[in-house]
């Protein structure tokens, strides 16, 4: 971290505000060498804690800088290490809550950008989403407010972004933990004046958990990604160069050289159809969720219609 970066951050923290000129200087100094250092990341977090007001420009810088540090400091890029995940959780918990405008946007943007994150961070993201939807207040980066009295339209947007993100608990689909979180939110806000989008999101998301298909290879671990990158970068094998040249010159040779395997394996269409069927264990799980508040409410009824082939509300 340069002295210039530290001086700007120190003055802004003293003033409890960041001017546009200071923000531009922080950007220039922070990315002077193309990366965000651990010291700079700590300084940026400390400055965020000190600010009285967080402008949209500051939020964008904060999210971009911390995301750059967490996702691209270590190779392979796009993956969060266990140590970085722990650091991020500890840092977010330092103030006792996830501040809606900056820190909430960081949590969501991180799983949107990441190829995968550690298990503890996935659990933390789910818990944070639930807490902020039920208890959070204040503006969000993309308009609207968090509400502690009902599920707002802004909260629906945040949930949808995070739940279907590449770095989420079940990328492109809804996991069991995520579906159970949605049920808890539904029961807690059942009598509230919720945004119309909430029922639609609830039905689509829980329906996706029960009937949606998710590839087992949608996410790979950071360790596996590192192995693959090392393999493809191995100059002695030239595998990547060989395959690339072969694909360009003789694209139809792959089947002849490597042979056709897995002809008895189910097709993607068959896998999708199999996942669409609600199994006995899934029905049992759904019964438990619906009995949580002692009645089959309007959200449950809309979900059942959706599972039977109806439209989402």
81 and 138 both lie in a single domain? no
22 and 84 both lie in a single domain? yes
144 and 53 both lie in a single domain? no
Residue 275 confidence (pLDDT): 55
Over 70: is that where the pLDDT of 34 sits? yes
Q: Is 69 within a domain?
A: yes
166 and 131 both lie in a single domain? yes
Q: End of a domain among 42, 60, 95?
A: 95
Question: pLDDT class for 193, splitting at 50, 70, 90?
Answer: very high
Residue 127 structural domain: 97-214+267-313
Q: Is 16 within a domain?
A: yes
Question: pLDDT class for 148, splitting at 50, 70, 90?
Answer: confident
41 and 126 both lie in a single domain? no
Question: pLDDT class for 32, splitting at 50, 70, 90?
Answer: confident
90 and 101 both lie in a single domain? no
- For the chain, what is the domain count? 2
Q: End of a domain among 95, 129, 145?
A: 95
Give the pLDDT confidence of 260-270 residue by residue, as tens digits: 555 566 665 65
136 and 200 both lie in a single domain? yes
Give the pLDDT confidence of 210-258 residue by residue, as tens digits: 987 566 656 556 666 565 556 556 655 555 565 566 555 555 544 544 4
Q: Is 161 within a domain?
A: yes
Tell me the C-alpha distance between 222 and 54, whole Å: 33
Average pLDDT over residues 95-99: 68
38 and 178 both lie in a single domain? no
Q: What is the model's pTM?
A: 0.80
């Amino acid at each position: 971290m340069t002295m210039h970066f530290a001086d700007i951050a120190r003055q802004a923290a003293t003033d409890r505000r960041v001017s546009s000129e200071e923000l531009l200087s922080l950007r220039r100094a922070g990315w002077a060498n193309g990366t965000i250092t651990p010291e700079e990341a700590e300084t940026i977090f400390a400055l965020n804690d000190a600010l009285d007001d967080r402008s949209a420009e500051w939020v964008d810088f904060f999210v971009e800088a911390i995301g750059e540090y967490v996702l691209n400091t270590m190779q392979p890029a796009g993956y969060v290490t266990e140590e970085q995940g722990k650091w991020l959780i500890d840092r977010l918990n330092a103030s006792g809550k996830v501040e809606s405008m900056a820190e909430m946007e960081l949590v969501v943007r991180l799983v949107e950008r990441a190829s995968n994150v550690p298990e503890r961070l996935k659990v933390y993201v789910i818990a944070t989403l639930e807490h902020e939807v039920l208890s959070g207040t204040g503006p969000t980066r993309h308009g609207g407010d968090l509400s502690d009295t009902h599920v707002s339209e802004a909260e629906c947007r945040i949930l949808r972004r995070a739940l279907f993100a590449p770095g989420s608990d079940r990328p492109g689909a809804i996991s069991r933990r995520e579906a159970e979180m949605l049920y808890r939110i539904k029961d807690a806000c059942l009598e509230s004046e919720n945004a119309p989008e909430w029922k639609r999101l609830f039905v689509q998301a829980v329906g996706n958990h029960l009937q949606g298909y998710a590839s087992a290879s949608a996410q790979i671990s950071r360790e596996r990604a590192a192995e693959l990158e090392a393999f493809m970068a191995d100059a002695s094998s030239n595998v990547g160069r060989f395959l690339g040249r072969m694909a360009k010159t003789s694209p139809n040779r792959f089947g002849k050289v490597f042979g056709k395997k897995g002809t008895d394996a189910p097709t993607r269409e068959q896998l999708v159809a199999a996942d669409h069927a609600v199994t006995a264990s899934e029905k049992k799980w759904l019964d438990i969720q619906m009995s949580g508040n002692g009645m089959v409410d309007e959200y449950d009824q809309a979900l059942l219609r959706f599972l039977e082939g109806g439209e989402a509300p």
